[in-house]
Chains A and B, each alone.
Chain A
Amino acid sequence: MAISREDVIYVAGLARLELNEQEIQDYTLQLNSILDYAAMLERLDTDGVVPTAHAVPLHNVLREDEVKPSISHDKTLRNAPDAEEGFFRVPRISLT
Chain B
Amino acid sequence: MIFEKSISELHELLIHKEVSAAELTNAYLERIGDLDKDLQAYLTVLEKDAQTQASEIDQKIARGEELGALEGIPMAMKDNMCTEGVRTTCASQMLREFYPPYDATVTTRLKDAGSILLGKLNMDEFAMGSSTENSAYMKTRNPWNLDCVPGGSSGGAAVSVAADLAAFSLGSDTGGSIRQPAAFCGVVGLKPTYGAVSRFGLIAYASSLDQIGPLTKTVRDNALVMNAIAGYDAMDSTSVRYDKPDYTKFLINDIKGLKIGLPREYFGEGIDPEVAKGIQKCVETLRSLGAEVSECSLPHTEYAIPAYYLIATAEASSNLARYDGVRYGYRAEAGDVLGMFRKTRADGFGQEVKRRIMLGTYALSSGYYDAYYLKAQKVRTLIKQDFDQAFEKFDVLLGPAAPTPAFKFGEKSNPLTMYLSDITTVPINLAGIPAISIPAGFVNGLPIGMQLMGKAFNEGTLYRVAYTFEQTTNYHTLKPNLSGEVLARGSR
Where the two chains meet, the residues of B that have a C-beta atom closer than 8 Å to any C-beta of A are 97-99, 101-102, 193-195, 208, 234, 237-238, 240, 300, 302-303, 305-307, 309-310, 317, 321, 324-331, 333-343, 345-346, 349, 351, 354-355, 357-359, 361-362, 365, 372, 374-382, 384, 414-416, 419, 430-433, 456
Question: Using Cβ atoms and an 8 Å threshold, which residues of chain B touch A11?
Answer: 358, 361-362, 365
Q: Are B208 and A55 in contact (CB under 8 A)?
A: yes
Q: Are A46 and B238 in contact (CB under 8 A)?
A: no
15 A-B Cβ contacts within 8 A? A33-B415, A34-B419, A38-B306, A38-B376, A40-B306, A51-B374, A51-B377, A52-B430, A54-B194, A55-B433, A56-B194, A71-B102, A78-B101, A91-B333, A92-B335
CB distance from B308 to the nearest CB of A (A): 10
Is A93 an interface residue, CB under 8 A from the partner? Answer: yes
A75-B328 Cα distance, complex, nearest whole Å? 11
11 more A-B residue pairs beyond the given contacts A11-B362, A91-B340, with a C-beta to C-beta distance below 8 A: A17-B358, A27-B354, A33-B415, A34-B359, A44-B382, A46-B378, A58-B195, A75-B101, A78-B99, A78-B101, A82-B331
Pick from A17, A33, A71: contact of B101, CB under 8 Å: A71
Pick from B327, B333, B382: contact of A79, CB under 8 Å: B327
Question: Using Cβ atoms and an 8 Å threshold, which residues of chain B touch A42?
Answer: 375
Counting contact residues on chain A (CB < 8 A from B), the size range is: 35 or more
Q: Are A52 and B355 in contact (CB under 8 A)?
A: no
CB distance from A86 to the nearest CB of B (A): 13
Residue of B nearest to A34 (CB): B416
A30-B215 Cα distance, complex, nearest whole Å? 33
CB distance from B204 to the nearest CB of A (A): 14
CB distance from B446 to the nearest CB of A (A): 27
Residue of A nearest to B313 (CB): A34
Known: A52-B384, A56-B195. A81 touches B330 (CB 8 A): yes
CB distance from B367 to the nearest CB of A (A): 10
A26-B433 Cα distance, complex, nearest whole Å? 36
CB distance from B125 to the nearest CB of A (A): 15
Q: Are B327 and A56 in contact (CB under 8 A)?
A: no
Q: Are B303 and A41 in contact (CB under 8 A)?
A: yes
CB distance from A8 to the nearest CB of B (A): 7
Question: Using Cβ atoms and an 8 Å threshold, which residues of chain B touch A46?
Answer: 375, 378-379, 382
A91-B355 Cα distance, complex, nearest whole Å? 27
Question: Using Cβ atoms and an 8 Å threshold, which residues of chain A touch B99?
Answer: 78-79
Pick from B240, B354, B382: contact of A23, CB under 8 Å: B354
CB distance from B304 to the nearest CB of A (A): 11
A34-B359 Cα distance, complex, nearest whole Å? 9
A88-B349 Cα distance, complex, nearest whole Å? 22
The DSSP consensus for interface residues of chain A is: loop
Pick from B101, B194, B234, B361: contact of A76, CB under 8 Å: B101
A11-B240 Cα distance, complex, nearest whole Å? 36
A40-B357 Cα distance, complex, nearest whole Å? 22
A28-B331 Cα distance, complex, nearest whole Å? 27
Question: Using Cβ atoms and an 8 Å threshold, which residues of chain A touch B307?
Answer: 41
Is A49 an interface residue, CB under 8 A from the partner? Answer: yes
Where the two chains meet, the residues of A that have a C-beta atom closer than 8 Å to any C-beta of B are 3, 7-8, 11-12, 14-20, 23, 26-27, 30-31, 33-35, 37-38, 40-42, 44, 46, 49-56, 58, 61, 63, 71, 75-76, 78-82, 88, 90-93, 95
A35-B310 Cα distance, complex, nearest whole Å? 9
Q: Are A63 and B329 in contact (CB under 8 A)?
A: no
Q: Are B343 and A58 in contact (CB under 8 A)?
A: no
Q: Are B343 and A18 in contact (CB under 8 A)?
A: yes
Q: Are B238 and A56 in contact (CB under 8 A)?
A: yes
Pick from B305, B339, B346, B381: contact of A19, CB under 8 Å: B346
A11-B69 Cα distance, complex, nearest whole Å? 51
Residue of A nearest to B383 (CB): A52
Question: Using Cβ atoms and an 8 Å threshold, which residues of chain A touch B349?
Answer: 17
The 4 closest A-B pairs by CB, nearest first: A55-B432, A51-B377, A79-B328, A81-B331
Q: Are B362 and A44 in contact (CB under 8 A)?
A: no
Pick from A15, A80, A93: contact of B337, CB under 8 Å: A93
Question: Using Cβ atoms and an 8 Å threshold, which residues of chain A touch B325?
Answer: 81
Q: Are A30 and B101 in contact (CB under 8 A)?
A: no
CB distance from B246 to the nearest CB of A (A): 22
Question: Using Cβ atoms and an 8 Å threshold, which residues of chain A touch B331?
Answer: 81-82
Question: Using Cβ atoms and an 8 Å threshold, which residues of chain B touch A15?
Answer: 317, 345, 357-358, 361
Residue of B nearest to A58 (CB): B238
Residue of A nearest to B315 (CB): A53
Q: Are A63 and B234 in contact (CB under 8 A)?
A: yes
A76-B98 Cα distance, complex, nearest whole Å? 12
Q: Which of A30, A42, A52, A78 has the most CB of B within 10 A?
A: A52
Question: Using Cβ atoms and an 8 Å threshold, which residues of chain B touch A51?
Answer: 374, 377-378, 380-381
A93-B339 Cα distance, complex, nearest whole Å? 10
Question: Using Cβ atoms and an 8 Å threshold, which residues of chain B touch A16?
Answer: 321, 324, 338, 341-342, 345
Question: Using Cβ atoms and an 8 Å threshold, which residues of chain B touch A41?
Answer: 303, 306-307, 375-376, 379
Q: Are A27 and B381 in contact (CB under 8 A)?
A: no
Q: Are A90 and B240 in contact (CB under 8 A)?
A: no
Question: Using Cβ atoms and an 8 Å threshold, which residues of chain B touch A82?
Answer: 331
